[in-house]
Structure 1
Amino acid sequence: MRRDPERRTVPGLPRRWWALWAGGAVAALLGLSAPAGAAPTTPTATPLPATDTTTVTLPTGDHVTVSGAGTGKPTYTVEPSRHGGVHSVQTAAGDHYVIPAVATPYLGRQLDLSLFDVTTMAARGIDDGARIPVRLSFADGVTPTAPAGVTLTAVRGTTARGYLTAKSASALATAARHRIGADVAAGRAPGSTPLFAGMTRMSLDAASVTAKTVTPHYPLYTLQVNGIDADGNTPDYLPVFITNTDSAARADPVVELQGSSERVMVPAGHYTAQTFGDSFDEQGDQSKNLTVVVDDFTVAASTAPSQVTLDLRTATSPVTVSTPKPAVQDVLVTTYYRFDATGASFGFENNQSGDAPIYVNPQPAATTGRLHYLVHWIGAPADQSYRYDVAFASDDGVAADQSYRVRSDQLATVHHHLYHDPGDDGRYTTLLGGPTDPQIAPQWGVPAMASPIPAQQLPADVTMYVGTADSGQWGNAVATATADLAGDGHTYLAGHEYSIEWGRGPIVPGLGQFTGARHVCYSCSAGDALSLGMPMQHDAVPDHTSGSALYPAQAHFILYRNGTLIADQDRALGATVTGVPDSDATYRGVLDTTMPADSGATLWTKTHTEVTVKYSPGTTGSPLPAGDYCAIQDGDTPCQVLPVLTLNYRLAVDRQNTSSAAIQAMGLRVGHVSYDGAGSSSPIASAKVSVSFDHGDTWRPAHVLGAAGTYAVTWRNPASAAGTAPMLRVRATDANGDAIEQTITAAYQLAAAQ
């Protein structure tokens, strides 16, 4: 499994659910169909992947993970291939562009914008394991040859087809960086000389892209879009993203400005426009990020063209942050959340890693719809002994003075304690943080999450000084070589200290107790449909679950109804059933997971989980809160949270999930999955725990004390088992007859004999 040392998450569509980093993951559901009203005893299975997550590789080698596309509410996680900036634009029509700064000097010239349309690439299955199909054009008289990173598959005259791979794509970025550096060193504008001699254009292969058909529903009028570059000259190329702010559904064209102006036909009304540019140094690294927004301009219902000018010279305000203790900028994110007059939203974001500045142009508050502007900043000293993670929000436009001061009396101290698998050396570990701004959370969830370079070595203690000036919540997540875990947003109070554990094992499949909006319900019912499943990973904290479902090929799910098998599917973490009869039934789901041998995992390598749910139509479950998402909901039929039991383990182990104690202790919490309190209230009736030191040949019962779901568990670790990883089995029930049983191979590590 690949991990990059830096990860950033960028916003999704206005209707989209924050899947990757908000304490929930997209439901990994297997679709089953049966005739309406008939018992689904012999259903026809239509398999879906175990995770609704696709990782796209850009031609520059950067990776973008798209999560939740099947829900219609995807999010986008950007993992840059190298230190530098990334421009991310979400259009109202649904296309999401992620454009690394190293590509901007060549956009519209040798690199087509389609190469960075992540939505199209994900929809076409152009993921990390697939080739990136490209079409290339060359100048007259030039024999096509493969540019860096590209393999040609067909040549015809001055055109060619070929592909890049996830591995070869970085070669194109390296070539671009070297060429940019050479231009700057020679006193030329970046991109002045061709990226590849003789090549005039490279685009995503048209055979893989379906052209969009636009049917106008309003009278159209001419808008002339003018552009000026950072030097006051006619730009070679500027991508201009324009959206109608009366209703984004009316128009949101992308104007690729080549020269001083371009014209586009749009409905009359109010609009906003955005573009960006970059400066570079002699090493080809980004030295400055320029963002320009022109808000509230009007297209008149007139035969005379209306005009708007985007001038990169107006980006005169550097975004800077000062802190009480010394800290250097690691990550800076500026995000424009734009809401039209109907409340629909879209946005654009600039991510900057390292200390290169972002310059913005001042803007007054929006007069049509609303502009919500958010600055997110992460900084730390050279020794990374502490970290600032702060945010500043405004609904009053973009001020000319973009210098922000972090005050000590507006900070909370959050101590993050990172546990890990002994087999994980921590080289690929990132601790991410991001603000959940209450102004935009109902539609956007956690807007941006970032992690600085370098990767966090494990085990680790990270002290974060978290800003509270914008009265928002903060979300966190941890990604390691063997685990992806995300937590709910939490409100921190200035002057208070908090402690959060990550990766305290065993990390196993399971649901939890969640708060806040934009979770997906894995186990819910709605009308004659039912889904039963759970995320791949869950640690000791009730709201920590998989940020993305890992290793879907290693998951197998079976579902029974009243003892009859109705689903048996690889690559699945759950199942859906349609045509559920209007009668009581017992559903039992069985999930088996295995960590691949090349994952590096030594603990939690195999799990076997069985959940039993007593289902009674019309009475089982409690309504899922409106802010959450249920994959099976149809129309106005509300989703009901099924009474699936949850297990939270708290083993007495060190930070490598290792124990040297003769008497092993473990806290155990048994509950029901819940969303803002919505879930079963059936009393927990029993809990039993047993341990095996011989790979499951024999089992020893543990001593369990407690009641009502809270238990203290102890057992003896025999000296003969030193250096091994025991198995653990837990079974719990509630008063309604719902049950859970989980068996974990290598639940914890025993220290070697001294």
Structure 2
Amino acid sequence: MRRTPAVLGVAAVVVAGLTPAAEAAPVTSADTTHTVTLVTGDRVVVQDVGGLQTATVLPRPGSAGDFVNQRIDGDLYVVPATALPYLGSSLDRSLFDVSALIRDGVTDQVPVQVDGSAPGVLAGKVTAKSGAAFGAALAAQAGRDAKNHFATRGPLFGTANQVRLAAPGAPQQVHPNFPMHTVRILTVNGANTPVDASLGVINTNDSRNFNAFPYSTAGEARVSVPSGDYGVVAWFPTFDAAGQVTSVRVVAQDFAVTGDQTVTIDGSKATSEISVSTPKPSNLTSETLEYFRSAQTMGSQGYAFAVGNGKAYVAPSAPTKVGGFHFNVQTHSESPAGTASPYSYDLKIDNDGALGANQHYKVTADQLATLKESYYSDKPGRLEGASRIIFLPYEVFGFGQFSPLTAPLQRTEYVLGGPGLLYDDAVLAGMATGGGFTAGGFLNYAAKTTTPVEWHRGPLAPGLTVPSAGTTSWFCSACRRDDTIRVALTPVLDSDGHTLYLDAPTTGTVSTSHFQLLSGGKALIDGKDVTGGEATAPAAQADYKIVYDQTRTAPWFHQSTVSHSEWTFGSAHSGAQTVPAGWACDPVTGKATDCSALPLVTASYQLKAGLDGNAAAGPDQVVVAFGHAPGGTDLPFQKAGIQVSFDGGATWTPTFLADLGGGRYRAQWTNPASTTGGDVSLRVSATDVAGNSLTQSVTSAFSVPGVQS
């Protein structure tokens, strides 16, 4: 067995796709984001970003957070562990096919058909709110049925013989035109002791011949397959009375099919307990195991099982002879309760080729990178969620789970360092509702380095995302291709460059915007609730103006609620590629032919406010770094201005401005003392030597607490 350190996130898992990549390069592009509601009330945030896909789970309130994810035939399934024993019988697998639900547009309300009755189903639909009752009832039933090892399962909830998705759902399986053989897969826990197990079976010659996730009920599953080589993984979970996973045993083995036959998988052989030790004392809070098999000719199968802080055991396996084999161990552990300076460890270990008998992993300090994480919050005691997804070189799909934290918070987070590990972190500003989704982008860290990371440090304002160092593939968000101008603003950026997506308008949440691209007194683009668009422009040099207004209020935010941004720039026909190699500018072809970056001015803020978004009365300052859109030329700036307003933007006060060089300016002013305190708005502007400019104002950029009279 070869052990290669890699990384996990907060109960994060990675599922491999159908075509393994030789190496997962940092890829960022125009992306799509969907939030899918499962019938159990859990929600899954799915992002497709430059060839990589991530899916992050927001568990329903009260959930144990134990999830299984499977990927097959291009579809991603996210299944609560409590649903596993009922898949294919009482529960339709299509209920958990996240990819199909997105294709069918079933993301907010899940249409279901119930033979009988089920909690949480209202008028034939389940929402995130009502689904919590369905999920809780399912967990309770799994806890009851686990007492007799699921031997005498009756209808779900006492009356539901079957719950089906009332939508097209998963694609139909294609059956190969080969002579077929029946394989009986017997799952036992010791000789002559049948036991249920969740299985993954793949033809390791070519997965198109067979690739499925059958379930062994009462110790037996049957599959009809053609001759060939096969890999099988069996998961033997145990549940407590609340439906929470207490342990899981994993057995992986290969077999060849030449005719009708029986294969026995013995869970009692999984005796090697998985454990991880860290340099400083830490308590395990979540653990995820992931099995990955790739076929010799084409295709692969991924199966990951989150076991929380339950026990995990594996059976040693023989080295794989046909196709590829990986088994990942992923853990998240935290400092003991009451630690003055809290810390955490996110670790991911890769078993390549086989499973060995020794499953204890010792991590040393010189393998780790240190992240000094600061979670800013302008609402005291804000319940947030954090997720860390890690990609190994062969992985193209990542899966994670949001874990709660209370902000403001400063915490040291240790991760394994190395060039082959790619991290994608995300934060929810509103954990209870799933609001304020903030993406961190793809990064890797070298061992024995320290990196400061700041989430939601204000002011929060629209702009353009800048690719991180080492990024080799990027979708240009402000470019001209021949005579086509395309702009896609990032809706909200914090001071560290993290992307915050606008929440859907609901009760108590306002989210609206207006985007315009103007030239010669005409609107080339005029859209409501969009962050850009594409327009045809005349070939000759011309002046352009972008006006973007945004209003964003939600219960989990107090500051940076309104912004007004204006960009002016000049542009002419682009007949050559000036953006870096590897970039894409055409959303259809993915190419950058005749593409050049627009000279939009950007602004990056460094307020002096604290973790709570407050600044004291008296002297204050901000440093603003002006630059240009990624891929363009960094022209010098000929002038800049920074103003503050203490009355919501009715009047503006100039600041003392110091030119720090390189487009960086420091503004200084005095916050007036008040017995009631108040919010302070900020307005910045800059013009480069070519006349391109940005003016941006942010209402309630920070706050000054009241002082005693």
Q: TM-score range by the shorter chain?
A: 0.7 to 0.9
Alignment partners' CA distance in 2, 1:432 and 1:416: 13
- The yes-or-no answer on 1:264 pairing with 2:228 is no
Deviations for 1:75-125, whole angstroms, at most 9, x for unmatched residues?
A: 21112221241100112x221111111112222221121221111222222
- The yes-or-no answer on 1:595 pairing with 2:555 is no
Q: Determine the structure 1 residue equivalent to 2:494.
A: 539
Higher mean Cα deviation, 392-401 or 659-668?
392-401
1:65 paired residue among 45, 69, 78: 45
Give the 5 Å matches for 1:37-48: none
- The yes-or-no answer on 1:388 pairing with 2:353 is no
- The yes-or-no answer on 1:181 pairing with 2:161 is no
Q: Determine the structure 2 residue equivalent to 1:89.
A: 70
Deviations for 1:679-713, whole angstroms, at most 9, x for unmatched residues?
A: 43333443222222222222222232223311111
- The yes-or-no answer on 1:610 pairing with 2:566 is yes
Alignment partners' CA distance in 2, 1:745 and 1:464: 33
2:286 paired residue among 295, 309, 331: 331
The secondary structure found in structure 2 opposite 1:681 is: coil
2:126 paired residue among 164, 167, 184: 164
Q: Determine the structure 2 residue equivalent to 1:747.
A: 701
The structure-2 alpha-carbon separation of the partners of 1:646 and 1:120, relative to structure 1 and needing over 3 Å to count, comes to same
- The answer to whether the 8 A contact 1:104-1:278 is kept is no
The secondary structure found in structure 1 opposite 2:313 is: strand
Q: Determine the structure 2 residue equivalent to 1:118.
A: 98
The structure-2 alpha-carbon separation of the partners of 1:282 and 1:254, relative to structure 1 and needing over 3 Å to count, comes to closer
The secondary structure found in structure 2 opposite 1:409 is: helix
Give the 5 Å matches for 1:438-517: 439-440=393-394, 443-444=396-397, 447-450=398-401, 452=403, 455-468=404-417, 472-481=421-430, 483-515=436-468, 516=471
The structure-2 alpha-carbon separation of the partners of 1:637 and 1:487, relative to structure 1 and needing over 3 Å to count, comes to closer
Deviations for 1:448-472, whole angstroms, at most 9, x for unmatched residues?
A: 54554xx322221112233337963
> Which amino acid is 2:70 matched to?
V
Give, in angstroms, the shift of residue 418 of structure 1: 1.9
- The yes-or-no answer on 1:374 pairing with 2:333 is no
Alignment partners' CA distance in 2, 1:315 and 1:532: 55
Q: Determine the structure 2 residue equivalent to 1:224.
A: 183
Alignment partners' CA distance in 2, 1:586 and 1:540: 29
The secondary structure found in structure 2 opposite 1:696 is: coil
Alignment partners' CA distance in 2, 1:344 and 1:752: 62
Higher mean Cα deviation, 554-563 or 6-15?
6-15
Give, in angstroms, the shift of residue 349 of structure 1: 1.9
Q: Determine the structure 2 residue equivalent to 1:34.
A: none
The secondary structure found in structure 1 opposite 2:462 is: coil
Q: Determine the structure 1 residue equivalent to 2:164.
A: 203
The secondary structure found in structure 2 opposite 1:83 is: coil
Alignment partners' CA distance in 2, 1:509 and 1:94: 34
> Which amino acid is 1:656 matched to?
D
Q: Determine the structure 2 residue equivalent to 1:76.
A: 55
The structure-2 alpha-carbon separation of the partners of 1:348 and 1:549, relative to structure 1 and needing over 3 Å to count, comes to farther
The structure-2 alpha-carbon separation of the partners of 1:218 and 1:109, relative to structure 1 and needing over 3 Å to count, comes to closer
> Which amino acid is 1:573 matched to?
T
TM-score (norm 2): 0.85
Alignment partners' CA distance in 2, 1:116 and 1:311: 28
- The answer to whether the 8 A contact 2:12-2:389 is kept is no
- The answer to whether the 8 A contact 1:531-1:576 is kept is yes
Q: Determine the structure 2 residue equivalent to 1:33.
A: none
Deviations for 1:426-459, whole angstroms, at most 9, x for unmatched residues?
A: 12x133334343x236x44xx454554xx32222
Deviations for 1:247-305, whole angstroms, at most 9, x for unmatched residues?
A: 55665344455573423355x6554444534211233322113444445x5556xxx35
Alignment partners' CA distance in 1, 2:180 and 2:572: 58
- The yes-or-no answer on 1:281 pairing with 2:240 is yes
Give, in angstroms, the shift of residue 625 of structure 1: 5.1
Give the 5 Å matches for 1:354-753: 355-380=309-334, 381-383=336-338, 385-421=342-378, 423-427=379-383, 429-437=384-392, 439-440=393-394, 443-444=396-397, 447-450=398-401, 452=403, 455-468=404-417, 472-481=421-430, 483-515=436-468, 516=471, 520-526=475-481, 529-542=484-497, 544-546=498-500, 548-551=501-504, 553-577=511-535, 582-596=539-553, 598-618=554-574, 622-624=578-580, 626=582, 632-634=587-589, 636-638=591-593, 640-674=596-630, 678-706=631-659, 707-719=661-673, 723-753=677-707
The structure-2 alpha-carbon separation of the partners of 1:532 and 1:114, relative to structure 1 and needing over 3 Å to count, comes to same
Alignment partners' CA distance in 2, 1:277 and 1:562: 68
Give, in angstroms, the shift of residue 746 of structure 1: 0.6
Give, in angstroms, the shift of residue 667 of structure 1: 0.8
Alignment partners' CA distance in 2, 1:365 and 1:214: 30
Give, in angstroms, the shift of residue 608 of structure 1: 1.6
- The answer to whether the 8 A contact 1:13-1:74 is kept is no
Give, in angstroms, the shift of residue 337 of structure 1: 4.3
Alignment partners' CA distance in 1, 2:702 and 2:424: 28
The secondary structure found in structure 2 opposite 1:485 is: strand
RMSD (CA atoms) = 3.5
Alignment partners' CA distance in 2, 1:290 and 1:529: 57
The structure-2 alpha-carbon separation of the partners of 1:535 and 1:276, relative to structure 1 and needing over 3 Å to count, comes to farther
Give, in angstroms, the shift of residue 211 of structure 1: 6.5
The secondary structure found in structure 2 opposite 1:604 is: coil
Q: Determine the structure 2 residue equivalent to 1:148.
A: 119
> Which amino acid is 1:108 matched to?
G
Give, in angstroms, the shift of residue 651 of structure 1: 0.9
> Which amino acid is 2:359 matched to?
Q
The structure-2 alpha-carbon separation of the partners of 1:486 and 1:217, relative to structure 1 and needing over 3 Å to count, comes to same
| Count of residues in Structure 1 that have an aligned counterpart in Structure 2 | 676
Give, in angstroms, the shift of residue 220 of structure 1: 5.9
1:136 paired residue among 92, 101, 114: 114
Alignment partners' CA distance in 2, 1:667 and 1:7: 37
Q: Structure 2 unaligned runs (5+)? A: 1-9, 506-510
Identity in percent: 28
1:98 paired residue among 75, 78, 92: 78
The structure-2 alpha-carbon separation of the partners of 1:718 and 1:514, relative to structure 1 and needing over 3 Å to count, comes to same
TM-score (norm 1): 0.80
Give, in angstroms, the shift of residue 749 of structure 1: 0.7
Q: Structure 1 unaligned runs (5+)? A: 1-5, 28-51, 138-143, 154-161
- The answer to whether the 8 A contact 1:335-1:350 is kept is yes
Q: Which has the higher strand share?
A: 2
Alignment partners' CA distance in 2, 1:612 and 1:338: 53
Deviations for 1:693-749, whole angstroms, at most 9, x for unmatched residues?
A: 222222222232223311111223234696121221112233344332211111111
- The answer to whether the 8 A contact 1:511-1:545 is kept is no
The secondary structure found in structure 2 opposite 1:509 is: strand
Alignment partners' CA distance in 2, 1:136 and 1:698: 61
Deviations for 1:365-417, whole angstroms, at most 9, x for unmatched residues?
A: 54444334332211122336221222222334332322111223333333212
